[in-house]
Amino acid sequence: MAEIIQRDGTWHFDGETVRIVPGRGKGIHPLRQELGERAVPLRALAGISFEPDRKGGRLRLRLRDGACPVLRAADGRLKDAADPYQLTVEKDRSGVAEYFADEVRDALRIEQVPTGAVDGFLLPGPAVPVAGGGGDGTASFDGETVRLTWNWKAKEVKTSGGPVAFPVSEVTGVHWMPAIGLENGHLRFVRGGGPAASAPEAEYDPYSLDLWGLSKKEYTAVLVAAAVLVRLPDAAGRAPAAVPAASPAAPAELAAPASDDHDVLLRRLRELGELHRSGVLTDDEFAAAKQAVLKRL
């Protein structure tokens, strides 16, 4: 077991799941606060790293491609501060962060978790009802119906028709793009068979929000996109609406641990003792971590 508690949040690893609880307060990005606690199963992870710097560093989980609907909806466009799978580490806890990363890496190695893409989501989408947006309006989703409401900054083509509501069964695609530089972003819902490229610009499209990038709060629109995304069939016609039960393991996943896993765990015990003697780990942290390693032995 490993745990690191920071102002930015708390990460806990029990050997099977990394549980992430975001911090609270002005310094925490609204997207992470709105998304809330995440439980990331070991089989959803491709790796973990600790990136030290002069102020401390950053813990970063790397998820398998397709495992998380939020990351799928964001498509690599999240800033570090908004990424729910990163943790800012203070300087005096760098040793604990290194230990945490080592514990997850050892578990991935022992369990022989593959690093390739997955066929369906291994994490749930954001809890519904969910709402987000900015710019010229707000999008909300209750699990069945998407609603777009406009504010005073919306174009007349939108406000004249009033709020828009449509069932998720009519949605064939959803696309989120944050504002970048002087370019506005958008949250666009595609209905029917028409390609998104043929739709009007977001500020004139009654099925899109125009995102201006004037507030971090606009990033919460990606949570609406993710909640809708998990309820859409994918390109192959498989619907990953719910988190699937564990699928039959591949041969590599069923294989026995490598012959040197015993040595790995013994080395971990020695490292724990060194961290405890140097004061990096408290008595309680050392006892809990040692017990977790002995259990795996």
Over range 16-25, report the average pLDDT: 95
Residue 254 predicted with pLDDT over 60: no
Residue 9 predicted with pLDDT over 80: yes
- C-alpha to C-alpha distance for 220 and 82, rounded to whole angstroms: 10
Q: What percent of the chain has pLDDT over 70?
A: 81
The single-letter DSSP state of residue 198 is G
Comparing 16 with 277, the larger pLDDT belongs to: 16
SS3 159: helix
CA distances from 191 to 58, 182, 184 (A): 40, 28, 22
Over range 119-145, report the average pLDDT: 95
Torsion over CA: 221, 224, 226, 229 (sign)? negative
Q: Which of 85-89, 258-262, 270-274 has the highest mean pLDDT?
A: 85-89
First-to-last alpha carbon distance for the chain, in angstroms, is 13
- C-alpha to C-alpha distance for 37 and 130, rounded to whole angstroms: 15
Over range 9-26, report the average pLDDT: 95
Q: What is the pLDDT at residue 260?
A: 45
Q: What is the pLDDT at residue 249?
A: 37
Among the ranges given (70-74, 204-208, 237-241, 276-280), the one the predictor scored with the smallest mean pLDDT: 237-241
Which residue in 16, 64, 17, 100 sits closest to 275, CA to CA? 100
CA distances from 177 to 27, 88, 89, 215, 221 (A): 23, 25, 29, 14, 9
Residue 293 predicted with pLDDT over 90: no
pTM of the entire predicted model? 0.78
Residue 176 predicted with pLDDT over 60: yes
Residue 153 predicted with pLDDT over 80: yes
Query: Amino acid letter at 75?
Result: D
